[in-house]
Amino acid sequence: MSRPSDHIDEEPTQAPVRNAKLGFTETLRWMWTQLTSMRTALILLLLLAIAAIPGSLLPQRAADPNGVTQYFASNKDLAPVLDKFQLFDVYTSVWFSAIYILLFISLIGCVLPRTKHHWDAMRAKPPRTPSRLSRLPGYTEREFTGVDVERAYASAEKVLKSQGYRVERYERDGEVSVSAERGYLRETGNLVFHFSLIGVLIAVGIGGSLGYSGQRVVVEGQAFSNTLLAYDSFSPGRFFSASSLEPYNITLNKFTTKFEERNANAIGQATDYTASITAQVRGGQPFDTTIKVNEPLGIGDTSVYLLGNGYAPVIKVTNSAGEVVFNDAVPFLPQDKNFTSVGVVKLPDGLAHQLGLIGFFYPTVAEAHGGMKMSTYPDLIDPELTLNVYQGDLGINEGIPKSVYTLDIKKMTKLTGIKTKLPSLEMKPGQSAKLPNGMGTVTFEKVARYASLDVHHDPAQGWVLVFAILAMLGLFTSLFIPRRRMWVSIRAKKKNTIELQYAALARGDDPTLEAAVQRTIDDQIRDLGLTRD
């Protein structure tokens, strides 16, 4: 990213040619020159593009951890090999990082000297007028009569100034000339763009290491407070400290869904999810608000997003003595667009044996061929809960945390459902069913909805945006503001007649250079009150 080759005041590069005689420092300098050259930057850019591709072909741990697990299961031999090359963590891998770090070093090594150069250029006068303007683009000669040299000079200077040029007067061999330069903003924009990219990278790094994100499922009527313990899952940045969790509470009052009912091509398609909540920051007043899919809630330096929802049947279990051993809303995970959902109840205590229940919930139940049940509509028209009972060791006594959504049935015996003597427990809301062997009763009390909330904190996110916008503005000026020099050289020819020579030179791509020379000529003719010949 050093100066482009069409840079008009580029000095011939003094890069030492590498040969065996180079000492250590010269070798380092040679390497530095290579690294910061435009060609290297270009190749690194293309390498970066290529290196990003595998991450879109293979599942990535950060974006799709389940996909990685599945990939390992279905490609037992290949997956570990790919994993060795960090192909499931492409964007944090050593090789991907190496490319972009080198690219940014190259970028810094290029823009720093360029900034110095630009700083000097901005304070320098426009350069001496070249002696042979006729070699330059847009070269035009004009003769004016009835105007003297000084008046023509004054008008040329005035016209160029009004077009945004900086001007300087030079004299040589009876010739007076204006040397003018404009469009410094082009290079300024270019530098702003590159510095902003560095800014984006730094802000992303800082935000990622100081921030955190956490997930929490909240059932209607339940509250959630922003503390480490309250999260179902939590991923902190490298330098996260628990004290940066700002204390607040969110209570989910009601979760409303809307499904398409009229458009025959989209019956049952969700058109709206709204979580109505009451929020309270510590020491503040509670307030009612809503969270929707595209409308997160900003609270206490975090953003709270609605990223999922589902049904949570309220299940009560009593033992044979009539004591309640379980009574809770159990979030079920939706499996399809009609919200056929799966959930698990673990009953470690209070019954004759440890029991596990694997349940299916159908908001609108229907029977397919062969007696398989399924849901045919996502809303609660005819809800039903079916449960299969497993007896044995739940595997939770060892104190190893287990997912609340899965039941490890390795050490358990299935008591109801397919391949057993007893049918599954089937209940509509308000109904009860008996557990096998007189162990007790299960009651499906009612259905609540739940919202899956994501909480994010990224202290540098605003800076990322600021730098991104700066980069775009810089890019815009660096690509579209023309940087050009223009010269008007004036000398007396014969009595009462003067000759003017116009020429210009562009830095970078400049499709309108010659038109600009014509405009200057026209403006000057108008300024002098002459008519066009």
Binding span for another protein by CB under 8 A among 58-66, 124-132, 241-249, 387-395: 58-66
Say whether residue 60 binds another protein (CB under 8 A): yes
Shortest distance (Å) from residue 96 CB to another protein: 10
269 contributes a contact to another protein by CB under 8 A: yes
263 near another protein, judged by CB under 8 A: yes
Helices marked H in 124-247: 149-162, 184-210
Contact 427, 444 (CB under 8 A): yes
C-alpha span between 483 and 507 (Å, rounded): 6
Rounded to a whole number of angstroms, the minimum distance from the CB of residue 19 to another protein is 22
Question: Segment near another protein (CB under 8 A), from 148-156, 258-266, 350-358, 495-503?
Answer: 258-266
Check binding of 5 to another protein (CB under 8 A): yes
Please classify residue 483 by burial: count the beta carbons closer than 10 Å to its beta carbon, then call 0-12 exposed, 13-18 middle and 19+ buried. Answer: buried
Helix (H, G, I), strand (E, B) or coil at 1: coil
Residue 28 is a binding residue for another protein (CB under 8 A): no
Name which position in 69, 479, 518, 519 contacts another protein (CB under 8 A): 479
Tell me the Ramachandran region of residue 503: left when phi exceeds 0, alpha when psi lies from -120 to 50, beta otherwise: beta
- The length of the chain, given as a count of residues: 533
Q: Which of 22, 64, 234, 523 binds another protein (CB under 8 A)?
A: 64
* Largest distance between two CA atoms of the chain: 126
Judged by CB under 8 A, the chain residues 276 through 335 that form the site for another protein are 292-296, 303, 305, 307
The residue among 200, 224, 380, 378 whose CA lies nearest residue 297 is: 224
What are the start-end ranges of the H helices in 176-332? 184-210
**What is the footprint of another protein within residues 495-524 (CB under 8 A)?**
508-509, 511
Among positions 187-206, residues that touch another protein (CB under 8 A) are 204
CB closer to another protein, 5 vs 531: 5
Question: Does residue 62 bind another protein (CB under 8 A)?
Answer: yes
| Cα–Cα distance for residue pair 287/297, rounded to 1 Å | 12
260 binds another protein (CB under 8 A): yes
CB-based contact 311:375 (threshold 8 Å): no
Complex with another protein: residue 235 or 432, whichever CB lies closer: 235
37 close to 2: Cβ distance less than 8 angstroms: yes
Q: What SS3 class is residue 8?
A: coil
Of 26, 150, 272, 323, the residue at the interface with another protein (CB under 8 A) is 272
Least distance to another protein from the beta carbon of 219, Å? Answer: 20
Tokens of 204: 């992303």
Contact (Cβ atoms closer than 8 angstroms) between residue 1 and residue 106: yes
CA 199 to chain centre: 15
- Give dist(CA 142, CA 125) in Å, integer: 26
x-marked contacts with another protein along 214-243 as a string, rule CB under 8 A: ------------------------------
Residues 328-367 within binding reach of another protein (CB under 8 A): none
Using rule CB under 8 A, residue 67 touches another protein = yes
**Residue 525 interacting with another protein (CB under 8 A):** no
Smallest CA-to-CA distance from 109 within 186, 197, 1 is with 1
Of the candidate residues 25, 243, 265, 531, the single one contacting another protein (CB under 8 A): 265
Give the integer Cα–Cα distance in Å for 68 and 126: 61
Under the rule (CB under 8 A), what is the footprint of another protein? 1, 4-6, 38-39, 41-42, 45-46, 48-49, 52-53, 55-56, 59-60, 62-64, 67, 90-91, 204, 213, 260, 263, 265-266, 269-273, 292-296, 303, 305, 307, 454, 456, 461, 464-465, 468-469, 471-472, 475-476, 479-480, 508-509, 511
